[in-house]
Structure 1
Amino acid sequence: MNILTEKFNTPYHSAPFNKINNEDYLPAFKELIKKSEEEIDAIVNNPEDPTFENVIEELAYSGEQLDVISNIFFNLNSAETSDELQKIAQEVSPILTEYSAKISQNEALFNKIKKVYDEKDKYDLNEEQQMLLNETYKGFVRSGALLNDEDKEKLKKISMELSVKSLQFGQNVLASTNNYFKHITNKEDLAGIPEAILEQYAEEAKERNLEGWVVTLQYPSYIPFMTYAENRELRKEIALANGKKSFDGSEFDNQNLIKELLNLKQQKAELLGYKNYADYILEERMAKSPAKVIDFLNELLTKAKPYADKEIEELKSLAKADGIEEIQAYDHAFYAEKLRKAKFDLNDEELKPYFPLNQVQDAVFGLAEKLFHLTFEERNDIPKYHEDVKVYEVSEILSQAENDNVPEAKSLKPKAFKALLYVDYFPRKGKRAGAWMTSYKNQYQKAGENSRPHISIVCNFSKPTKDTPSLLTFQEVTTLFHEFGHALHGMLADTQYPTLSGTSVKWDFVELPSQFLENFCYEPEFLKTFARHYKTGEVLPDEKIEKIAQSKNFMEGYQTLRQIGFGLLDMNYHTKVGELENKSVKEFEDAYTKATQLYPANPETAMSPSFSHIFQGGYSAGYYSYKWAEVLDADAFQYFKENGIFNPEIAAKYKVLLSSGGTKDPMELYKSFRGSEPKVESLLKRAFG
């Protein structure tokens, strides 16, 4: 018996991590693909006339167990991978791609879909059903359903190559990150670094059976070093190592892989009748076209550049006082921290004791209860994939009217199960860098049952030590709120179909819930409720809280230019791939980020070979969406600010936006919540006053 192909005998049918063996995956994928293909055959071979119910709905609900297993496998491959798992991923990815292509290029199936689509006026479809029909038809067309057999085969091969090469890109970045560490034996080389961070470096050394201290390229190790280390030469050395990730001529170098990935995407776009990959992607985004994205980014660049230049001039003055004539990128974090301390008397290490992870988590849980009536209860009987992971049962407090409609609730408690939430906070060798939200199981409704989602948040925060709990920098506080915003989008999902549920929205809309929630971190009224010293219980002093609020826009010009640079680079990679025939990746990167660069370019480093968002993740031709969504989140939070940040009526309207997933056009969804389209002025006002 293969546990992955059976119904899980666990609370809420959660993933049985403790019983899964690696050798279970490949046979399970093969068996469940076969089962899913049988479901498709049943739709195709149904002798009745094609209808919305027997074609579109049946297709939307097909492959449920395969989706669950895919989520389990690929989520673990990001959060708790191993050489064995990576090897399986290389084998499984092309099989899944082939299966997907087989469905999307199934002519008999598409003919049935097209018939329903062409005759949609005869069906009495509600808004969500109309959206499902449109998205299903477009999805097939965009996957090559209208191509001839020869081109369908070409597209299938391209898609399979893309899946394997994208995986390889991520594996190379992870290996390149893990392969470097700096062993330091002289404590003088660590001058300026706070004691808590030194303790962390000592723990890392001990794990490697070394004396002294070890700094790695994992963010909780790298960022503090760049921020506090007074030893400029060491800052330069470690920054150089970080900038050379997968850009060092080693077996993990990604430069050729980038060209291969971009050429494959261009071939795919042309095969489907598009000028380039960005045109193909943006057809299904709020932005609609590369020209509109470039105009949007350039407008922000024009507005933000003077502020960024002014910020860098301030840093140059500080560096000059230390005898540095030409400030470099590896000096930025160090002098930005000095300036922040001088301007706001704020120091990350000084603030960290007020932000122990458990308090910050309690705060974000409490905010979810205040705004959306959610509660969180830890469950120790639900299997986990690592001892660091915690699992919470998420429930919704029902109103009296809702409670009356749930008979079993009357005798128990006025709550309804809403979701499972997994949280995984600390770095490990098998976990990729960064922070993300993901799903193990989507929400959907079928046969009168509302099947609730299983959501996960994965981060890389400093681990607790023997004497100290995990203490977060303020930036890590906002990171947790960001990912929890995504998680709320998943947990509050309340749609009919799994393909329209939760974060299944236009990609440039998906960052609204995450970036929106970050705003609360800067509100004194809210901060006072949870910023307490982990030892004394003392609340963070009012003047510090005020300084945090004032510091919200600190280095906003620099950060904006950095994001615009990534967005422009991404857009140019996916519209001008031909230029890479005569340019190196480094030359291309320098050319298209030049307008946003505030420091001298370093010939030895390049960020593209570790730009996982666009070469491994889902942000190809979509990185601009972070800034796009900032317009939405600034405008949305302004609405709260004008009416009270905990305003129940506005929170209820926002909850509708979150729970609606992809059932409506995002702009219509936003206008229903806000009463008008978002205004770019809201972002500019928040960022630059």
Structure 2
Amino acid sequence: MIKKSLITPFSTKYNTAPFSKIENSDFLPTIKEAIEIAKNEIDAIVNNTESPTFENTIEALDFSGEQLDRISSIFFNLNSAETNEEIQKIAQEVSPLLSEFSNDITLNEDLFKRVKTIYEQKDKLNLTTEQQTLLDKKYKSFSRNGANLPEDKKLKLREIDKKLSQLKLKFGENVLAETNKFELHITNEADLAGLPEGAKEAAAQTAEAKGKEGWLITLDYPSYIPFMTYAENRELRKKLAIAFGAKGFHNDELDNQENVLNLAKLRHERANLLGYKTHAHFVLEERMAKTPETVQKFLNELLEKAKPAAEREFTNLEQFSKELDQIKGLQKWDGAYYSEKLKQKLFDLDDEKLKPYFKLENVINGVFTVSNKLYGLHFEEISDIDKYHDEVLTYKVTDSDGNYISILYADFFPRPGKRNGAWMTVYKPQYVKDGENSRPHISIVCNFTKPTKTKPSLLTFNEVTTLFHEFGHALHGMLANTTYPSLSGTSVFWDFVELPSQVLENWCYEKEALELFATHYETGEVIPMELIEKIKASSTFHEGMQTLRQLSFGLLDMSWHSSDPTGINDVKEHENKAFESTKLYPDVADNCMSTSFSHIFQGGYSSGYYSYKWAEVLDADAFEMFREEGIFCETVAQKFKDNVLSQGGSEDPMTLYKRFRGKAPQPEALLRRAGLIEK
């Protein structure tokens, strides 16, 4: 029995998701019903007796399945942010159904004929740029997903897609289960030496919540990272680091090695079936980079610039650890600890000095203020819409004239049902239909340090930049102003999507921005100028090693996806080869990154992890324009909003970027900012 209130447009304020009215048991029947409705909409397009036109075929196709998109968005967002065994079980049933439905569309010959008819006469149709982009995208969604295949190969494609959707889910479930399973239970306070008071208190609260004495350290980032950064007990750091690096690598029921091999091989088989050499060739056709060769060249050129600096930094760190604690061989569990000690020595700066100036509520207000000064946005916390958890904050976003722009959900703290990391997502996209500009519902999800009994949530500087990063994505979604839902907001090439997020991080390093929100949580004192200078001075600290680390992830991704993986039988052995050119620390035999590399094996970053560095080139180049004209220059902000943030995927991203910047991006801007070449 389905709830009619879920299958029709929601009768809620701002048309928001009615979380309180949704039971887990509603999802499967509602999604099945929504699929049937969407199928009927497709049938109506196919059976239209009029000749195919852009409006009755391409436009109708883009607006079809609206309620299916909404209910499945709610479901999968909850599966990431507030999951449980019941939801995970439903996901295993729902994913193949959605995969099958997607195949029903892309392998529908009669529908493809209509799309192809329009595509072949596109030059005569006098379409707008956005309409041309949509037509191109719709045609490719068929041609790149098997529409031109013979029937037997279409069936094979369906089979592969079904398996892939289930494998990705299983991979993610295993990683989450591994994260939740491990606990470092400490009963001797001496084992916490070096750990900041706030981290100790949080560990005590975690233990208390689980009915245990002492302190609990987990693999959740707000617990794991402070321990690895500050704990003096090297053996416990080792134990924790090995546990973190061994997720999905225990040869047990949560092992992901077979899932990794199967995902890589099925992706390759799928690409071959569609006429592409590898999965990377398939993926990159629809990216700014275009080919695996371009990506490899890009990564290797950065590697050439970063590696000498990284090796120098590593040698210095080894020497420092030897002088300080007679460490004979620096290991992975030593890196964060001695880096922090060296940073304190060089800059007299550590997160414990900074955290009192970064109370979560103040940083939220800070990112709101920066967004207001740049784009005229106002954020009003509201309590009259549903949310999926009590901790979630909800905001109504308006522009400087009071016009409604967006709904924003913000979810900041770790929970057992929430995966690690930080992300932005969409509950409802922006689009224009029947003359009405339907506004988006955007969510940012993070895992920050929770408030304790004695302290509010005080963020590390890294958490501050993470919040600004996710908010940059949120701005891309909130300021969307396109006609079609599939081109709206963050629906852009993956190597362009990180530009809005990464560019906003730059404001975290600017005095003019920091003074707006970085005030001491007890005294109200504005962050002292000397700390701002130290933040800036330390911003390139170990940049060579950080760059090498990011490049290693990109190279690992490409190693799985830019060549034939059918001969790979040993995940760990393959990974070691991929890491060879970027290796600094000795290998840890018990660890394997691929088995918990959710970005590429669960998320959408397969053949795309390089895009973080690619977008850094764009963001460094873009921010130089802000620096030249003033970081709150309204003219530059308006140009960025008009040509990047509001445009979504309505036009080729390089065209949009050049329209904003007046020229192609210069890689030297990133190298200058990173201190890898002279300014």
Sort the TM-score into its range (normalised by shorter chain). Answer: over 0.9
**Residue 334 (structure 2) pairs with residue 348 (structure 1):** no
Q: Deviations over 1:475-514 (max 9, x none)?
A: 0000000000000000000000000000000110000000
In structure 2, the partner of 1:509 is: 496
Once residues 565 and 370 of structure 2 are traced to their aligned partners in structure 1, the CA distance between those partners, rounded to angstroms, is 49
Q: Which residue of 2 aligns with 1:210?
A: 212
* Structure 1 residue aligned with 2:417: 430
User: Would you say the 8 A contact 1:565–1:596 is kept in 2?
Assistant: yes
Distance (whole Å) between structure 2 residues aligned to residue 359 and residue 22 of structure 1: 35
Question: For the structure 1 residues 155 and 173, does the alpha-carbon distance in structure 2 shift closer, same or farther, using more than 3 Å as the test?
Answer: same
- Report whether the alignment pairs 1:70 with 2:72: yes
8 Å CA contact retained: 2:171, 2:602: yes
C-alpha distance after superposition, 1:341-385 (max 9, x if no partner) = 111111111211110000000000011110000000011011000
Q: Which amino acid aligns with 1:348?
A: D
Match of 2:614 in 1: 628
Identify the match of residue 390 of structure 1 among 389, 393, 404.
Answer: 393
Structure 1 residue aligned with 2:636, among 650, 656, 667?
Answer: 650
Equivalent residue, structure 1, for 2:19: 17
Partners of 1:60 and 1:462 lie apart in 2 by 41
Q: Displacement, 1:7? A: 2.5
| Aligned match of 1:314 | 316
Q: Which residue of 2 aligns with 1:542?
A: 529
Q: Matched residues in 1 for 2:385 and 2:567: separation?
A: 50
Is the CA contact (8 Å cut-off) linking 2:265 and 2:566 kept in structure 1?
A: no
Deviation at 1:580, TM superposition (A): 4.3
Quick one: which amino acid aligns to residue 32 of structure 1? A
Distance across 1 between alignment mates of 2:436 and 2:565? 51
Amino acid at match of 2:161: S
Q: 2-side partners of 1:317 and 1:338: how far apart?
A: 13
User: Equivalent residue for 1:403?
Assistant: none
Residue 594 of structure 1: aligned partner: 580
Give SS of 2:399's match. strand
Instruction: Work out whether 1:670 is the aligned partner of 2:673.
Output: no
Q: 2:591 aligns with which of 605, 608, 616?
A: 605
**118-127 or 188-197, which moves further after superposition?**
118-127
CA distance change for structure 1 residues 177 and 553 in 2, over 3 Å: closer, same or farther?
A: same
* CA apart distance, 1:6: 2.9
Aligned to 1:379: 382
Q: Is the 8 Å Cα contact of residues 524 and 549 (structure 1) preserved in structure 2? A: no
Contact conserved, 1:4 with 1:25, CA < 8 A, in 2? no
- Which whole-Å CA distance do the structure 1 matches of 2:420 and 2:436 have between them? 37
Distance 1:647 1:573 in 2: 43
Q: Is the 8 A contact 1:457 1:483 kept in 2?
A: yes
Q: What is the aligned partner in structure 1 of residue 360 from structure 2?
A: 357
Q: Distance in 1 between matches of 2:527 and 2:102?
A: 53
Asked if 1:574 is matched to 2:561, the reply is yes
Say which SS state the counterpart of residue 183 (structure 1) adopts.
strand
TM-score (normalised: structure 1): 0.97
The code of the aligned residue for 1:666 comes to P
CA distance in 1, matches of 2:169, 2:151: 28
Displacement of 1:579: 5.9
Aligned with 2:328 (options 316, 319, 325): 325
Once structures 1 and 2 are overlaid, which stretch shifts more, 547-556 or 382-391? Answer: 547-556
| Pair 1:531 & 2:528 matched | no
Report SS of the residue matched to 1:568: helix
Give the letter for the 1:393 counterpart. K
Deviations 1:97-141 (A, max 9, x none): 000000110000000000011111221211000111111101110
Which position in structure 2 is the counterpart of 1:339?
A: 342
Q: Find out whether 1:458 has 2:461 as its counterpart.
A: no
Equivalence for 2:63: 61
- The answer to whether the 8 A contact 1:110-1:145 is kept is yes
State the Cα distance separating 1:577 from its structure 2 match: 3.9
Instruction: Give the TM-score normalised by the residue count of structure 2.
Output: 0.98
1:681 equivalent among 668, 671, 678: 668
Structure 1 Cα separation of the partners of residues 121 and 502 of structure 2: 40
Kindly tell me the number of residue pairs found equivalent between the two proteins: 672
Query: 1:466, CA displacement in angstroms?
Result: 1.8
Given that residues 185 and 214 in structure 2 are in contact (C-alpha distance below 8 angstroms), is that contact kept between their aligned partners in structure 1? yes
Question: Which of 460, 463, 479 is residue 492 of structure 1 equivalent to?
Answer: 479
Contact 2:482 2:488 in 1 (8 A): yes
1:439 aligns with 2:418: no
Q: Residues 183 and 577 (structure 1 numbering): CA distance in 2 closer, same or farther, change over 3 Å?
A: farther
Q: What does the per-residue CA deviation read over 1:44-103, in whole Å, with 9 as the maximum and x for residues that have no partner?
A: 001001111110000011000100001000000000000000000000000000000001
Q: Is the 8 A contact 1:477 1:521 kept in 2?
A: yes
| 2:603 aligned residue (591, 611, 617) | 617
Distance 1:31 1:589 in 2: 43
Deviation string, structure 1 residues 292-330 (Cα, Å, up to 9, x no partner): 101100000010011111111221122102111111111
1: CA distance between counterparts of 2:530 and 2:538? 12
Query: Counterpart of 1:603 in 2: which secondary structure?
Result: coil
Instruction: Give the distance between the partners of 2:32 and 2:578, measured in 1 at CA.
Output: 44
Question: 2:481, 2:646 within 8 Å by CA — same for their partners in 1?
Answer: yes
- Secondary structure at 1:439's aligned position in 2? strand
Distance 2:132 2:259 in 1: 40
Note the 1:405-420 alignment, pairs <5 A: 415-420=402-407
Q: For the residues of structure 1 that align with 2:583 and 2:407, how far apart are their CA atoms? A: 43
**Secondary structure, counterpart of 1:507 in structure 2:** coil
Instruction: Output aligned runs, 1:87-236, within 5 Å.
Output: 87-236=89-238
| Map of 2:626 onto structure 1 | 640
Q: SS in structure 2 opposite 1:15? A: coil
Specify the SS of the correspondent of 1:176. helix
How far apart in 1 are the matches of 2:284 and 2:179?
32
Tell me which of 287, 290, 312 is aligned to 1:288.
Answer: 290
Match of 2:469 among 463, 473, 482: 482
The answer to whether the 8 Å contact 1:508/1:626 transfers is yes
CA deviation after TM superposition for structure 1 residue 642, in Å: 0.8
State whether residues 528 and 545 of structure 1, in contact with CA within 8 Å, keep that contact through their aligned partners in structure 2. Answer: no
Among candidates 639, 660, 679, match of residue 647 of structure 2: 660
Runs of 4+ in 1 over 6 A off after TM superposition: none
Q: Which amino acid aligns with 1:367?
A: V
The 8 Å contact of residues 580 and 588 in structure 1, kept in 2 or not, is answered as no
* CA distances 1:385-440 after superposition (whole Å, capped 9, x unpaired): 00000110000113xxxxxxxxxxxxxxxx10000000000000000000000000
Which residue of 2 is the match for residue 5 of structure 1? 7
AA matched with 2:570: S
User: Whole-Å Cα distance in 2 between the matches of residues 530 and 648 of structure 1?
Assistant: 20
On the 8 A contact 2:264/2:565 being kept in 1, the answer is no
Counterpart of 2:258 in structure 1 is: 256
Query: Does structure 2 retain, via aligned residues, the 8 Å contact 1:259–1:580?
Result: no
Measured after TM superposition, the shift of residue 159 of structure 1 is: 0.5
List gaps (5 residues or longer) in structure 1.
399-414
Distance across 2 between alignment mates of 1:553 and 1:524: 17
Uncovered stretches (5+) of structure 2, i.e. residues with no partner: none
Q: Which of these residues, 270, 273, 298, is aligned with residue 271 of structure 1?
A: 273
Match for residue 521 of structure 1? 508
Deviation at 1:578, TM superposition (A): 3.0
